[in-house]
Structure 1
């Protein structure tokens, strides 16, 4: 009898160890995804992979990028899930990414996949610049709606515009890099000099300018279109303006950090990120996703926005990122929110 009890106890103990071992597979995942979405991302992933726990490290794009670069010689992350492609191109150039072709990657739109074979990163969704214009507050201030980026340098808008700081915000960086592409190096900085005269403050979040405009704290917020559509659907008196010169954009992407000791689990996570289920999840927060045919129409998303997307030179943005941010900080950082 005692031997049977001993055997039963040993089996239970062994099963407990096995279950514990499965439950203790943890991945440190760096992300710039909106904090409100992280629980949903982890929950959806765990429906398929309940044995992998995600430990999130979340901050704005610029801060996460700087953190990864600072940890280059001693990586702390296993995976990046949701960071600007321009940042991942920079990390790739530093040899920090583990090339991997996730299962099903061939189903994605090719512009969402790194050109190398195997790819070093895969895209998830795209966010697109736009201007959130509070019609009620603008009327109170006697403003007329801008039609272009250059219109925003008109003196009537002085103190009425907020935009993201590109050193901390991916949205801010895509704005700055797109202006340099649209207007040229000299013209781009001249434009930003003029725009700076009208800026009330620079935020450290890409969505915050639109949220502030939606709340009536500022008439004009340079942000991204989906945030504006979401706020308008919630009842905010917003007009979402697509500037006539064209709009910058970037994509969120995923990659494995080279040197991770949890490569098998990391590959499972990246496999999941390219699935239909994952892209349906992205579509709840973004109007454009990597998997063709998944995205559903978004209420209040501005017409013609896709046609206004510039032919974004991601390599230019990645290669020149450090020098662009340094120059921007030297010229305009005095109006930034405290960190």
Structure 2
């Protein structure tokens, strides 16, 4: 090969490499999904779209929500993935979401996507409140098995209960919002006052209270049902209690951030979010998913939980979020773990 041809081929290779580098799109995706689950979503999507790279920015729901609101006038994210529907409704009201109708969205349950056309957000799966009780620790401390939320206010449970802080945890917020809807405003806050007397501490993670109950660090953790089922399948001596008054719940949801510079790539991620493949992946961590007839039975998932899910007023939760969180922090934040 002569030097001229070799040089020309080298130059062409350089141009092709540069073109490939330019063609690669990077999406910044804010998420509250458990860190252990993120690699499989990334791998599945990037296999379909090798020209797009997902860069996750992960934190708890409350932190992600606060971050997005703080960046409202200078958005840093392209897509929101696996953040509570109540948070996305708030952002929609602030004009922060880019409406988009993903291909195939009609295959989802109607309650799992925004009713406007085009929708501003789509739901992925539902996480449902429940109580994890370590049976060994409960027996050791002489604790009766609770059957209702109000049971947890009994003085026998003093310093025996852990729950998530709703300012940082979506699970914590669905509990608080749920209690205010179940009991009404006045009685709901009175309930939380009484429960606070028995709280050992508030965590900044929705799954942590159940994990701590599973490990025996605390007898009772207010968490979400799927985490309890996972802990039980791992051999933890826990019972998952569905309180008789009903349980709050929320959806992990996805949306495009208004103003993204990579709209086409963001739309492709939303298209992926509504596929059967994605819903089957959600089912690995959640018993209730957006697409009908996809979810397989989950071992140890408590009976009657779906029937106990309250008729959730997402608009109430979204519209009153700031007020509720401010009041909660004023009353109870003294027992929160350091961030």
* 1:109-124 alignment runs, 5 A limit: 109-124=109-124
Aligned to 2:89: 89
User: CA separation in 2, counterparts of 1:35 and 1:9?
Assistant: 42
Match status 1:108 vs 2:108: yes
SS at match of 1:176: helix
User: CA separation in 1, counterparts of 2:18 and 2:103?
Assistant: 30
Aligned to 2:19: 18
User: CA separation in 1, counterparts of 2:205 and 2:218?
Assistant: 15
* 1:32-111 alignment runs, 5 A limit: 32-111=32-111
Deviation at 1:305, TM superposition (A): 0.5
Runs of 5+ unmatched residues, structure 2: none
SS at match of 1:292: coil
Aligned to 2:215: 215
Deviations along 1:265-296, one digit per CA (max 9) or x if unpaired, are 11111111111111111111111111111111
User: CA separation in 2, counterparts of 1:19 and 1:195?
Assistant: 58
User: CA separation in 1, counterparts of 2:105 and 2:8?
Assistant: 47
SS at match of 2:184: helix
SS at match of 1:222: strand
User: CA separation in 1, counterparts of 2:6 and 2:152?
Assistant: 79
Deviation at 1:6, TM superposition (A): 4.1
Aligned to 2:10: 9
Match status 1:280 vs 2:304: no
Aligned to 1:177: 177
SS at match of 2:20: helix
User: CA separation in 2, counterparts of 1:29 and 1:289?
Assistant: 21
User: CA separation in 2, counterparts of 1:241 and 1:60?
Assistant: 24
TM value normalised by structure 2: 0.98
Deviation at 1:12, TM superposition (A): 1.8
Aligned to 2:133: 133
Aligned to 1:291: 291
Aligned length: 338
SS at match of 1:254: strand
Aligned to 2:322: 322
Deviations along 1:193-247, one digit per CA (max 9) or x if unpaired, are 0000110100000000000000000000000000000000000001000000000
Aligned to 1:198: 198
User: CA separation in 1, counterparts of 2:130 and 2:18?
Assistant: 53
Aligned to 1:189: 189
User: CA separation in 2, counterparts of 1:50 and 1:284?
Assistant: 24
Match status 1:224 vs 2:231: no
Match status 1:142 vs 2:142: yes
Match status 1:257 vs 2:263: no
Runs of 5+ unmatched residues, structure 1: none
SS at match of 2:166: coil
User: CA separation in 2, counterparts of 1:288 and 1:49?
Assistant: 27
Deviations along 1:62-97, one digit per CA (max 9) or x if unpaired, are 000000000001000000011000000000000000
Deviation at 1:2, TM superposition (A): 4.7
TM value normalised by structure 1: 0.98
CA RMSD of aligned residues (A): 0.9
Aligned to 1:302: 302
Deviation at 1:3, TM superposition (A): 4.6
User: CA separation in 1, counterparts of 2:222 and 2:41?
Assistant: 27
Deviation at 1:8, TM superposition (A): 2.4
Deviations along 1:22-45, one digit per CA (max 9) or x if unpaired, are 3x3101100000111111111111
Deviation at 1:333, TM superposition (A): 0.5
SS at match of 2:200: strand
